[in-house]
């Protein structure tokens, strides 16, 4: 009847039974695996790891005297959830203590200037020019490189708003716009670096402070009997 051990202290399984019951009686119950199946046992293991992560972070939050706001669940975008991993993402979304510890652990994490420069190099795109044109039958936005060469050249040399004709085409260039090369990547890189740092920290803390019990191993543990990805 033990969920696992935290710093050698047994954690009661009641929280796991309660969480599983809530899932099986919830709106997505029909999507859950058949009770007693291998997949059902894997779900139990997965939920157990979420609860152990929450319990660990609750203890760390108390140790560090962190403010834990009693707010509602958070929602991560798909990229953030993938980078954290499904167990940590679920714990983060459902537990204010996990979010408080996340903020504390990652507060000083920032991407290096080298990382930012490397990202800019990999994602650099030239500034794009767009023309607002008047045509005999209306107006449109166009990339000048997509226009007939003769028409584009005539428009470039004509006064703004002047009608020009090149072959069968007639148009007037009303305005030009330049799209910036891209937004500052620092916030995106900072968020990714903080998620990576939290995963490393949490993996270390789990290894040092949690003891798993038989039947509630990590679902990805290749040694447990329901892991179907063993080689």
163-192, pLDDT tens digit by residue?
999 999 999 999 998 866 667 889 999 999
Distance CA 98, CA 195 (A): 12
pLDDT digits (tens, 9 = 90+) for 33-80: 998 899 999 999 999 999 999 999 999 999 999 999 877 788 999 999
Residue 5 has pLDDT above 90, yes or no: yes
Region of residue 160 (phi > 0: left; psi between -120 and 50: alpha; otherwise: beta): beta
pLDDT digits (tens, 9 = 90+) for 130-164: 999 999 998 989 989 899 999 999 999 999 999 99
């Amino acid at each position: 009847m033990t969920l696992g051990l935290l710093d050698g202290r047994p954690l009661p399984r009641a929280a796991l039974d309660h969480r599983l019951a809530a899932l099986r009686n919830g709106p997505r119950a029909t999507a859950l695996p058949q009770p007693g199946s291998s997949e059902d046992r894997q779900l139990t293991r997965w939920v157990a790891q979420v609860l152990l992560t929450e319990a660990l972070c609750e203890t760390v939050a108390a140790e560090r005297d962190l403010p834990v706001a009693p707010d509602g669940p958070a929602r991560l975008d798909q990229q953030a959830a993938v980078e954290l991993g499904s167990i940590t993402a679920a714990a983060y979304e459902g537990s204010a203590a996990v979010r408080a510890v996340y903020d504390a652990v990652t507060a000083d994490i920032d991407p290096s200037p080298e990382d930012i420069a490397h990202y800019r190099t990999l994602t650099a795109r030239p500034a794009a020019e767009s023309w607002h044109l008047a045509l005999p039958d209306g107006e449109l936005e166009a990339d000048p490189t997509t226009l007939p060469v003769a028409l584009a050249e005539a428009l470039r040399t004509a006064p703004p708003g002047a009608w020009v004709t090149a072959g069968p085409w007639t148009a007037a260039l009303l305005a030009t716009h330049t799209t910036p090369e891209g937004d500052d990547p620092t916030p995106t890189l900072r968020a990714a670096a903080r998620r990576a740092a939290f995963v490393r920290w949490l993996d270390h803390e789990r290894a040092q402070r949690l003891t798993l019990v038989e039947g509630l191993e990590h679902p990805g543990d290749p040694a447990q009997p329901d892991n179907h990805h063993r080689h």
